[in-house]
Chain A
Amino acid sequence: MSYGNDEVRWDVVTAFVRLGLARGEKVLVLPCPEVPEEEVLARIDFPSRSTLRARRRGQLVVSCMREVIHPDAEFTAARQMGRLHAETDRATAEGYAGLRAFIDMGWVRALGAGVEAMMHRETGAEALFAGRPYTEICAYDRRRFDPAVLTAMERAHPRALLERLGSLRWEREPDGALRFIGEADGAQQDAFTRALQLALAHTAPARRLTVDLTGLHFLSVGCAVGLLVLARGAVGHDVVEVRCDGGQRRMLRRLGGDELPRLAWEEVVRPW
């Protein structure tokens, strides 16, 4: 994810940390080195219960990249990934469901690391995740990184996150699929519907549209019904394929999706 505002940056870290704690995972937060720890804790604690107990028992750790690679002083991708790999093992050995790490990329400047070394790490970190209970968010301050670096990093990561809760974004995939990302709630229903209408218009010559819902964290009934109504009325299309997870599939089925012969389903198992 990336942020360009000191206020909105906290939305994602707070959600990520609190849901991780609630799910029984160990949580490691490496904030921007220039932000005082007191502010980090105050932001994470607001607006719900304190995380003091989680910190005392070691479930929540606020640290810095310098500490992660200690006692070595110089950053290397292998060194950092080795430490995170070991931390994941330690978290599971301690009885946690896994490890999740929030890493503000402000450490690059703080450690005097080269952007190339950072990009090398970011594009070669699959071993940290493959078959292991490890989740990671890398947060980039758009005011500090070159736009070309940000674009490359967004492409290198498996998922791009939005910086605010309640946001919805959509994009056209190389195969023409319409992919939604974020939260398709009631406030976003008009935007969700408009994006679908445009995609249907653009794919009329091919008579086929794929709608990918797997990037959504939330799908409201209103948006789900909007999708079904538009698919039902898309008489110029032979197929509207819906790529979704099990929960979304069940909701769309309950709302009558199986009665629409034009709809085809591809159910995807989420990696987490």
Chain B
Amino acid sequence: MVNTDPADPAEGSGRRLLQRRFTARLLPQLRLLVEECAAREGLGEPRRGEFVLAVDEIAGNAVEHAGGSGRLVLRRIGDELECRISDTGPGFSEAVIPELLPGLDGAPKGRGLWLARLVADRFSVASGPAGTGMPGAEVTLAVRLR
């Protein structure tokens, strides 16, 4: 089942809504929990669906390319809903995300992250969990609630 991490007060500001480790098998449940939190915070459709989609694409990317698991932290920061997804894989930089939508005849990679960045009001990729010096990647995406 989904594990709950111990609290980590050094991880940032805002009100923490959800903190979960996940694997591929747990992604459907993770989507439900994120959707529930987003609805509770007042994020309406169609933005709520786009936010859940973006979170799923990033979490799925962590599962596929970073050892099969990852960690999600969802926070309310001011008027934003912020999601951080970290993993302990080889890491990647935002430069691997295509600037323009890849054509349908090209390689089938990169479209999920491309769309996640497109729908986010704030998006960044960092190397590993902030301040820990661990390998991996930490993707942050945020949407405005108003």
Contacts and interface: CB of A to CB of B under 8 A. Distances in A.
Interface of A: 15, 18-19, 21-23, 47-48, 165-166, 183, 185-187, 218-222, 225, 228-229, 232, 246-247, 250-251, 254-256, 260
A18 B34 CA distance: 11
B53 A220 contact: yes
B108 interface: yes
B80 interface: no
B77 interface: no
B144 interface: no
B74 to A, nearest CB: 11
B125 interface: no
Given A47-B1, A186-B60, A221 B104 contact: no
Is chain A's binding surface mostly helix, strand, loop or mixed?
Answer: helix
Is chain B's binding surface mostly helix, strand, loop or mixed?
Answer: helix
Contact of B101 (A247, A255, A260): A255
B97 interface: no
9 contacts: A47-B4, A185-B28, A186-B27, A219-B53, A221-B115, A247-B45, A254-B118, A255-B101, A260-B104
Interface of B: 1-2, 4, 18, 24, 27-29, 31-33, 35-37, 39-40, 45-46, 49-50, 52-53, 56-57, 60, 64, 101, 103-105, 108, 111-112, 115, 118
Contacts of A246: 46
A250 B46 contact: yes
A220 B50 CA distance: 10
Nearest to A229: B104
A23 B39 contact: yes
Most buried by A among B24, B27, B50, B57: B27
A48 B20 CA distance: 10
Contacts of B49: 247
Contact of B104 (A19, A218, A222, A225): A225
A47 B26 CA distance: 12
Contacts of A254: 101, 115, 118
Nearest to A187: B24
A246 B33 CA distance: 23
B116 to A, nearest CB: 8
B19 to A, nearest CB: 11
**Smallest CB-CB A-B distances: 4 pairs:** A166-B28, A22-B39, A165-B28, A22-B40
A247 B60 contact: no
Contacts of A166: 27-28
